[in-house]
Amino acid sequence: MSVEAPLSHGQLFSWREIERYPQGWLAEANLPTTWDLRGLSGERVDEALRRLVDRHEVLRTTYRGGGGRPVQHVHEDVEPPIERIDRIVTDPTEHERTKAELVTVPFAMSDALNWRGRLISSQGAPVYLCLSFSHLIMDLWSIHHLQDQFKALAADPRATAPAGTPPRELARRQREESWRPRQEGSERYWRSVLDDGLMDVLPTLPARVERNRLELTLRSRSLGGLAAEAGRRHGVTAPAVVMAFVAAGLARHLDVDRVTMSLMSSNRFAPEDQHNVGTMNQLIPFVTAVDPRSTIAEHVRRLHWASAKAYRHSCYDFDRIAEVAAGHGERPGHDCWVNHLFRAWFNYIQVDRRPSDPRDPAPAELAWTPLAQQYGQAFRVRVEVRGGRTSVLMLADPDVLPAGAMTDIMRTIAAGVRLAATDPGRALKDLWSVRGGLPPSLFPHEPPEPPR
C-alpha cells in the first residue's frame, strides 16, 4: 500500500534536471558512498538498515512521471535493495572498485526505488557496504546524515536522531497559504534577474541532446586553505572567494562586464531543515558586475553579497518559475528550461571536515577528462574539497570557451585566490599581469595539452 503526493520543490527540481540527461548519461545523477562494517555482526547490520528504511520515507518512495507533473508514492514497507556477496577480501582498496561499479548503473526514475547497495562479507563477517543513490531522492548532506544514523543504530539499535521533515510533508507545507509570501518573494527575485538579463552569449541545448564538451580539473592541496584564509580576511566564505574568480575569468573571456552565475543551494539554512533527509538542492542565478577597476577585495565582497541575496530565494517551484520566465518574454527555442535558465553554474562541496593547509607544498595537478559530459549547460564549475585537497572541475563548450581559455580561467582562479589572501588591495585588472609567478602548489608550470 502506498500514499500518492506531489513532489517537494527540491524533488521537482531534481526531476526536471535529471530528465534532460541523454539516456547514456543517466548514471551521472548517482551519488555513491561506502560504509565500513568491520566489527559488526550481520544481524546488527541488517537491523540498522531496516530501521533506517523505516525511519526515512525517501528510502521507501517511488516516482511516476506521466503527462503532467510527476508524483511520489510513499510505500508502507519495502525490501532494501541490497545485493549480498561473500568473498575473501585481501585488497584494502577493493571497496573503491565496487563503489565505482555500482555508481555507473543508472536508475529508471519511474516506478522503482532510486537507490541500491552491495554488501560485501568475508566468510560471513560484514566488511563494507557500497550504496548508490539517485540525486532524485538524496543529496550529499542527506547521505552524511544517513551514515551518522547508521553508525549510531549499529552501535545501539535504540539510538534516536533528530527527526527532519520528510519530502511529502515539505511538499504539503510548500503548498499552504503560509508559504505564499516566500513563493511571491522568489518570483519577484526571478523577475529582477530576468530584467538584468541572462547570459545570451552562452548557447543552450534541448533536453537529451549531446554536444562536444571539454572538462578540465585542477587539484591543489593549498588552494582551499588559501581560499579559507581569504574568506576570513574579508568576512566572506571560501566558496565565495573561489566563485569570484570563476566569474572574473568568465567575464574576461566572454568580453562582458556583467555575468550571470547560478549557485547550487542546499536550502537547509533554517534550523528546522538541518536534519531533513531527501533532495533539497536547487540552482539559483544572480547577475553581478565584474569591474576591472575595483580592488580584489571589493570584487570578492560584491560577489559574496550578490550570492547571499540569491540564497534567500533558492527554494521555489521550478515549473512555476518557468511560467514566470515565459510570461517575461523568455523563449528558450527548445524544450529545456533547465539549460536555458542556468547557463553557467557554480557548486562548492565540502565532502568532509578535514581542513586544507594553505602552506602544503604538494604540487598542483591539471588534467583533462578523456570523455567529458556531452550535454547540459555551456559552462559550469564544480569544486569538491575532500581530505584536505581541493578539486576544481570545469566543463565548457569549446565553441564558446576553447581549451586555452579554460586553462587561463583555471590560472585566474589560482592567482585570484592567492591575491585575495595576500594582496587584496590590488586592482582586479592587475590579476592578469601577475599570474606568471604562481607557485607549483597552486598551478603547474607546464599545463597539459587538451585531448584531441
- Residue 49: C-alpha distances to residues 99, 111, 127, 255 (Å): 18, 22, 15, 53
Summarised one tens digit per residue, pLDDT across range 142-171 is: 999 999 999 999 999 999 998 899 999 999
Round to the nearest angstrom and report the end-to-end CA distance of the chain: 54
> Which pLDDT band, with edges at 50, 70 and 90, does 68 fall under?
confident
The rounded distance, in Å, linking the Cα atoms of 56 and 207 is 32
Asked whether residue 110 carries a pLDDT value surpassing 90, the answer given is yes
What proportion of the chain, given as a percentage, has pLDDT over 70?
99
Asked whether residue 226 carries a pLDDT value surpassing 80, the answer given is yes
- Residue 70: C-alpha distances to residues 138, 227, 296, 356 (Å): 17, 40, 45, 42
Instruction: Give the torsion sign (CA, 270, 275, 276, 282).
Output: positive
Supply the DSSP symbol for 364. Answer: P
The pLDDT value given to residue 224? 97
Asked whether residue 67 carries a pLDDT value surpassing 80, the answer given is no
Across the range 419-448, mean pLDDT stands at 92
The pLDDT value given to residue 78? 96
Domains of the chain: 2-171 (3.30.559.10), 179-437 (3.30.559.30)
> Which pLDDT band, with edges at 50, 70 and 90, does 443 fall under?
very high
Summarised one tens digit per residue, pLDDT across range 363-400 is: 999 999 999 999 999 999 999 999 999 999 999 999 99
The pLDDT value given to residue 435? 65
With 0.85 as the threshold, say if the pTM is over it. Answer: yes
The pLDDT value given to residue 49? 97
The rounded distance, in Å, linking the Cα atoms of 119 and 89 is 12
- Enumerate the β-bridge partners of residue 11: none
The pLDDT value given to residue 357? 95
